[in-house]
C-alpha cells in the first residue's frame, strides 16, 4: 500500500505569506492576487486582504511629506466585509484622508470584479505624553506552545488558509464540539518565517474561528461583518522577530438573532499586550 501523506507534520503549503501579501502596482491602484490556498470556502480568507490594505496604507503614510517625525504607527483599523472576494486578482486602492500634527487617517478599498468587497479605515499616530496611564491586563496563564499539540491541517475539513498558520490550541473545546463556554485560547505564528508587523498580526488575529462556534454540535458557517482592532502602545513600533509566537485569548460576549459579538486580546511571548480586537460575525445555523 502507498504511504499515507503526513499531513500532520508537513502542511500542504504552496504560496508563502510574503508572496500572498505582495501588491502589484502603487498603493492607490494596486492588484492583490488571492491564491487558492489562501481561500476560506468560496472566498478569500478575510485576514489576507485586510492585511494587504494595512501594507498599502502604511506605504502611503511613510511617503507622506506632511507626516513629520516622529514616526506614526498603526493605532487602529476598522474593516467592513461587504461581499466575498473571489480567488484570483482583486483591485486594491488606498488613500490618505487627513494628516495632522500627531495622527494620519487613511482608507482602503478592495474590489472583486465589479463589486466593492471590503472597506478599511485606519489611524496612524505618533506617541505623545499623557499623565493618564492605565496598565494593560496581564496575559492568561497557559502552557508554552512547545508543550501543546500542533493543530494539523486536514484538507477538506478545514479552510485552506489554515495550512499557513501554526496553531497551538490551549482551550478545551474545538469548533463544532458542543462545548459549554464560547472561549478560545492558544498560541499562533505564521509558518512562513516573517517578522510580525501590524499587517501580519492582523492576519493572525483573524485566523482563529469565532469562539461561539465551539458551542455548535455540527458544522456551522459564520462570516465576519465588521471588525475593529486597536494596537496597544508602541509594541509594534518595530516588527517582532521571525519565529515568535503570539498568545491569543478570545471570547464571544453575546449571540442573538444570528449575530455574535466577540472580543480577542493578543500578547507577545514576553507578556506585552499588542492588540485588542472586536468583531461581529453573522451565523448561518
Say what the pLDDT of residue 11 is.
42
pLDDT band for position 9 (50/70/90)?
Answer: very low
Tell me the C-alpha distance between 205 and 207, whole Å.
5
Is the pLDDT at 8 greater than 70? The verdict is no
Is the pLDDT at 95 greater than 50? The verdict is yes
Tell me the C-alpha distance between 56 and 49, whole Å.
10
Determine the 3-state secondary structure of 82 from DSSP.
Answer: coil
CB–CB of 123/76 below 8 Å? yes
Strand partners, 88: 34
From residue 215, alpha-carbon distances to 169, 186, 279 in Å are 16, 17, 18
From residue 177, alpha-carbon distances to 162, 199, 212, 225, 271 in Å are 19, 31, 11, 24, 30
How many alpha carbons fall within 13 Å on the CB side of residue 246?
Answer: 35
Query: Once rounded to an integer, what is the mean pLDDT over residues 238-252?
Result: 92
Is the pLDDT at 175 greater than 60? The verdict is yes
- Comparison of pLDDT for 210 and 2, the residue scoring more: 210
Tell me the C-alpha distance between 162 and 238, whole Å.
26
Angle formed at CA 12 by CA 203 and CA 111, multiple of 5 degrees: 40
Q: Residues 277, 278, 280, 285: is their CA dihedral positive or negative?
A: positive
Query: Once rounded to an integer, what is the mean pLDDT over residues 203-217?
Result: 95
Percent of the chain whose predicted confidence (pLDDT) is above 90:
74
List the one residue out of 153, 162, 155 whose CA is nearest residue 39.
Answer: 162
Tell me the C-alpha distance between 262 and 253, whole Å.
6
pLDDT digits (tens, 9 = 90+) for 13-30: 589 999 999 999 999 999
pLDDT digits (tens, 9 = 90+) for 28-62: 999 999 999 999 988 999 999 999 999 999 999 99
pLDDT band for position 202 (50/70/90)?
Answer: very high
Query: Once rounded to an integer, what is the mean pLDDT over residues 250-268?
Result: 96
Query: Within a 10 A sphere around the Cβ of 12, how many other Cβ atoms?
Result: 12
How do 103-112 and 88-99 pair as beta strands?
Answer: antiparallel
Say what the pLDDT of residue 267 is.
95
Q: Which of 9-18, 93-102, 138-147 is least confident?
A: 9-18
Strand partners, 190: 165
pTM for the complete prediction?
Answer: 0.91
pLDDT band for position 5 (50/70/90)?
Answer: very low
pLDDT digits (tens, 9 = 90+) for 53-86: 999 999 999 999 988 777 899 999 999 999 999 9
pLDDT band for position 1 (50/70/90)?
Answer: very low
How far is C-alpha 212 from the geometric centre of its chain's CA atoms?
A: 18
Tell me the C-alpha distance between 161 and 143, whole Å.
25
Q: Which of 21-30, 119-128, 145-154 has the highest mean pLDDT?
A: 21-30
Q: Which residue segments constitute the domains of the chain, with CATH numbers given?
A: 17-126 (3.10.129.10), 143-285 (2.40.160.210)
Amino acid at each position: 500500500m502507498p504511504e499515507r501523506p503526513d499531513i500532520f507534520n508537513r502542511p500542504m503549503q504552496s504560496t508563502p505569506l510574503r508572496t500572498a501579501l505582495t501588491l502589484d502596482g502603487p498603493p492607490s491602484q494596486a492588484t492583490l492576487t488571492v491564491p487558492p490556498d489562501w481561500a476560506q470556502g468560496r472566498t478569500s480568507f478575510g485576514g489576507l486582504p485586510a492585511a494587504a490594505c494595512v501594507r498599502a496604507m502604511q506605504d502611503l503614510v511613510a511617503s507622506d511629506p506632511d507626516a513629520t517625525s516622529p514616526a506614526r504607527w498603526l493605532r487602529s483599523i476598522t474593516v467592513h466585509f461587504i461581499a466575498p472576494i473571489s480567488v484570483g486578482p482583486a483591485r486594491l486602492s488606498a488613500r490618505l484622508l487627513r494628516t495632522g500634527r500627531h495622527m494620519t487617517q487613511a482608507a482602503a478599498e478592495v474590489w472583486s470584479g465589479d463589486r466593492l468587497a471590503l472597506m478599511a479605515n485606519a489611524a496612524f499616530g505618533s506617541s505623545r505624553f499623557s499623565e493618564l496611564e492605565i496598565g494593560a491586563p496581564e496575559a492568561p496563564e497557559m502552557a508554552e506552545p512547545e508543550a501543546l499539540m500542533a493543530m494539523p491541517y486536514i484538507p477538506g475539513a478545514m479552510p485552506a488558509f489554515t495550512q499557513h498558520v501554526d496553531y497551538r490550541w490551549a482551550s478545551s473545546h474545538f469548533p463544532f464540539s458542543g462545548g459549554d463556554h464560547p472561549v478560545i485560547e492558544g498560541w499562533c505564528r505564521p509558518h512562513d518565517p516573517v517578522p510580525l508587523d501590524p499587517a501580519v498580526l492582523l492576519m493572525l488575529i483573524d485566523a482563529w474561528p469565532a469562539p461561539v462556534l465551539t458551542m455548535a454540535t455540527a458544522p456551522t458557517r459564520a462570516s465576519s461583518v465588521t471588525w475593529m482592532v486597536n494596537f496597544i502602545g508602541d509594541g509594534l513600533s518595530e516588527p517582532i522577530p521571525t519565529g515568535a509566537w503570539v498568545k491569543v485569548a478570545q471570547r464571544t460576549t453575546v449571540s442573538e438573532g444570528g449575530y455574535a459579538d466577540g472580543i480577542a486580546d493578543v500578547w507577545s511571548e514576553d507578556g506585552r499586550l499588542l492588540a485588542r480586537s472586536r468583531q461581529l460575525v453573522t451565523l448561518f445555523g
